[in-house]
Structure 1
Amino acid sequence: MKRTLLRAAEPGRSPEPPIARRSIDSIQWARGIAALGVFLFHLDMSITEKFGRTWCSGWFFGGATGVEFFFILSGFIILHTHLQDIGRPDRFSSFVTKRFIRLYPIYWLCVLPLGLALLAGAGANGHRDLTVVQFVMDLLLIPREGVRVLQPAWTLQHELVFYIAFSAMIFHARLGLLALVLWQVACLATLIFDLIPVGYQNMQPLARFLGHENFGFAIGMLVAWIYRKYGHGQAMLFRLIGAAGAVGVGVALWLRGASGVVILPNAAAEALLFFALYAMVMIGLLTVRVAGPSRVGASLGLLGSASYVLYLIHEPIISASIKLAQSPILAGRAMGLVVGLVILLVGISASIAVHKLIEQPLLVLLRNAAFGRRPASGMAAQPS
């Protein structure tokens, strides 16, 4: 892998076009399914809390692992699309601009109204205090203690840390790679010596920099390296690996969700398990080529394109919808199921609408303003 990264930094070396700019539809579909899984997980939890019974017998509790898939996907996409930027300091500003446009504008559109409402005193149950300083830190995705304005932003803070680590390789390939390795070693040491508590959405700012979640980025980069080096001649092997990973994911999700079995002793061990399984699945998906257009493929592709919006707005939609559903009439599992289905449809529809009407035109506008042209279609133009 080191040799691949350093070779990419050689002056005058041309990119590898068949891989670098190909649209990988299967990965786009998986992105949408992962975002939907996270949505269903939070929806199941909220319906269970409201109605006192599990919404769908706990089948969607495993949807939370979609976050692990997103970490791997991000590492894959960043190396896959920015390999030629490594060792090219002149491309640093372009990298930062692309990442800023992809990450911040639509996030701000989602977090601004929520933050302003909280500053005005519209906190959940009247006790969610927010200061102006905290709001500004959340807008900038600066890690802080306490509850964030938009809860899913904790993963975006990890993302930002990864961008900073990767950008070091743009300035200097060898030293940047060394810095990236040392960062991962620091994350490993933090985990081994239990330097910060392990738990879902650890609120400590240090967890964003040294948490076990950051291993997902390195694993995603490893998948990208394997794909670039062996992707042309190992399709059958890749599919077998992907199938084994899919079976493993299915069994692990069943154990984690419907059966209620504790797979591994803590969140870090479980995350590492799903990192490995999802990496295997991704390796298999990279060999899938779509024969032609289909309704299912188009729908999953659209959901994948809208996945960032869905990830950002699903919790506020769930919260607002549950409050609207507060009624003595809505009692029992049957009504809980109906309410859950309505929220699911509203969330997906709203995400697609925001993507088509706001996010997509906004990205085109900002990219045209920044680069004077629309970026090439395919993976490079998709969110990470």
Structure 2
Amino acid sequence: MRRHHPFRLDLDAPMTRPITRPTLDTLQAGRAFAALVVLLFHVEITLALPQYLGREIHPVFDMGYSGVHFFFVLSGFVIMLAHGRDLGRPEAVSEFVWKRFRRIYPPLWIVLLAMLPLVLAAPAVNHNAPLDPLDLLSAFALAPALHEPLLSVAWTLRHEMLFYAVFGLIIWRPKLGLSVGAIWMALSAVLPWLGIDDWLRFFFTSQHLLFGFGALAYVALERGWVRLPRLTLFVGIALFTVTWSIPLLKLPLNGVIGNWAFGLGAALAIAGAAAVERGRGLRTPRALAFLGEASYAVYLAHLPIIYLAAEVIDRSAVLRGLPAPLLFWSVAAVSLAVGVAFHLAVEKPLLKRLPNRSPLRAATGGALP
């Protein structure tokens, strides 16, 4: 019996401080890639569960969880791109906090509110995870936690909040924040090798280094260290692909080393692609750029739809008789379509209604005491 991987996209902020162009479409393409492979991973492992089709359909997507690794690296890069010039400016903290809140929480709250009655009626929709008032408060606040009571993919957002907290501290007090960040990264690099327990693993998972990889990729790009951008892009894609392939070839891959390899591959690919685009040597198809804009909505909405689609298939003898690849791609298409619809009908209009600038900054003139 295959283990149902816990879900752990970010779902980063708008890019408000570009390098030389109004936007870097390659970053949106990266978001699109990450969202798609995570979605396909979830379709594969859900339909392969014994209560549904009970067999693998496209095992190549078993490694699609690495889309999360790509998202974490992309998050570190994008936060530096958007707020790197704010470091050491305490008056910018409220703006940083507001933009993180505005981007992450309102769409999440809508999905969580929609999930609540569904989980109460059918606990299996979220793997029968425990549910009590403190769990609910934790889910809506994205506080540290060891399980997800409503939406299993929200685990990544809790780790995003840790990263944002450290980065906000760096903006406010750079020396203190960089010291805390360095200690956090060092412990996240070392402790996972020592067999740490669940709570220490939450705060010091090796995946936290991926945020640092992304931030360093931005620094390398900004300082002109990416001298051979096309080669850098190729090496990054090659490393990511080789790491993806190792378990598929039935070869062992240590979890920590896998995290680092995926992270380094993603960092090289992102830095290389951004450098090539900055030199106007790379164009991103509009469809990929749009899907990147919708990636957070797709990430939030796709898993419940996959589960509901699997239940419909399980209860229909006609559907169960269809070829498994047809069912796979149909479920993937439906879940993607619902995520895009959520982006267009809910997320995008909602963000337009929310002010771009921090209400706290407007009230206090932007400075923190």
Q: Deviations over 1:308-361 (max 9, x none)?
A: 1111111111101101111334446x5322222211111121111111221112
Question: Offset at 1:205?
Answer: 4.0
Selected match of 2:240 from 207, 228, 249: 249
1:322-337 paired onto structure 2 within 5 Å: 322-326=310-314, 327-331=316-320, 334-337=322-325
Match of residue 253 from structure 2: 264
In structure 2, C-alpha distance between the alignment counterparts of 1:172 and 1:369, rounded to whole Å: 22
Q: Sort the Cα spacing of 1:206 and 1:148 in 2 relative to 1 into closer, same or farther, 3 A.
A: farther
Match of residue 93 from structure 1: 94
In structure 2, C-alpha distance between the alignment counterparts of 1:20 and 1:217, rounded to whole Å: 23
In structure 2, C-alpha distance between the alignment counterparts of 1:362 and 1:299, rounded to whole Å: 22
Match of residue 7 from structure 1: none
**SS of 2:118 mapped into structure 1:** helix
1:300-379 paired onto structure 2 within 5 Å: 300-326=288-314, 327-331=316-320, 334-368=322-356, 370=358
Match of residue 13 from structure 1: none
In structure 2, C-alpha distance between the alignment counterparts of 1:292 and 1:278, rounded to whole Å: 19
Contact 1:121 1:129 in 2 (8 A): no
In structure 1, C-alpha distance between the alignment counterparts of 2:211 and 2:23, rounded to whole Å: 21
Report the count of equivalent residues. 340
Selected match of 1:284 from 259, 267, 272: 272
Name stretches of at least 5 consecutive residues in structure 2 with no aligned partner: 1-16, 361-369
Question: Offset at 1:116?
Answer: 3.5
Contact 1:47 1:336 in 2 (8 A): no
1:179-258 paired onto structure 2 within 5 Å: 179-196=180-197, 204-230=198-224, 234=227, 237-257=228-248
Question: Offset at 1:61?
Answer: 1.3
Q: Sort the Cα spacing of 1:145 and 1:93 in 2 relative to 1 into closer, same or farther, 3 A.
A: same
Question: Offset at 1:115?
Answer: 2.2
Aligned CA-pair RMSD:
2.5
Match of residue 27 from structure 2: 27
In structure 2, C-alpha distance between the alignment counterparts of 1:45 and 1:95, rounded to whole Å: 37
Amino acid at match of 2:263: F
**SS of 1:287 mapped into structure 2:** helix
Question: Offset at 1:21?
Answer: 5.8
Question: Offset at 1:288?
Answer: 3.1
In structure 2, C-alpha distance between the alignment counterparts of 1:20 and 1:98, rounded to whole Å: 22
What is the percent sequence identity of the aligned residues? 30
Match of residue 285 from structure 2: 297
Contact 1:44 1:54 in 2 (8 A): yes
Amino acid at match of 1:338: L
Amino acid at match of 2:169: A
Match of residue 123 from structure 2: 123
In structure 2, C-alpha distance between the alignment counterparts of 1:227 and 1:369, rounded to whole Å: 28
Q: Sort the Cα spacing of 1:368 and 1:244 in 2 relative to 1 into closer, same or farther, 3 A.
A: closer
Contact 1:302 1:352 in 2 (8 A): no
In structure 1, C-alpha distance between the alignment counterparts of 2:178 and 2:343, rounded to whole Å: 35
- Tell me the TM-score normalized by structure 2: 0.85
Match of residue 38 from structure 1: 38
In structure 2, C-alpha distance between the alignment counterparts of 1:176 and 1:321, rounded to whole Å: 45
Match of residue 53 from structure 1: 55
Amino acid at match of 2:208: N
**SS of 2:56 mapped into structure 1:** coil
Amino acid at match of 2:308: A
Amino acid at match of 2:54: G
Contact 1:38 1:64 in 2 (8 A): yes
Match of residue 12 from structure 1: none
Question: Offset at 1:130?
Answer: 1.3
In structure 2, C-alpha distance between the alignment counterparts of 1:325 and 1:106, rounded to whole Å: 29
In structure 2, C-alpha distance between the alignment counterparts of 1:369 and 1:173, rounded to whole Å: 23
In structure 2, C-alpha distance between the alignment counterparts of 1:212 and 1:369, rounded to whole Å: 34
In structure 2, C-alpha distance between the alignment counterparts of 1:101 and 1:364, rounded to whole Å: 10
Name stretches of at least 5 consecutive residues in structure 1 with no aligned partner: 1-16, 197-203, 373-384
- Tell me the TM-score normalized by structure 1: 0.82
Q: Sort the Cα spacing of 1:220 and 1:292 in 2 relative to 1 into closer, same or farther, 3 A.
A: closer
Q: Deviations over 1:271-293 (max 9, x none)?
A: 11111111111122112339799
Q: Deviations over 1:44-76 (max 9, x none)?
A: 1112222122112x1211211011000101111
**SS of 1:87 mapped into structure 2:** coil
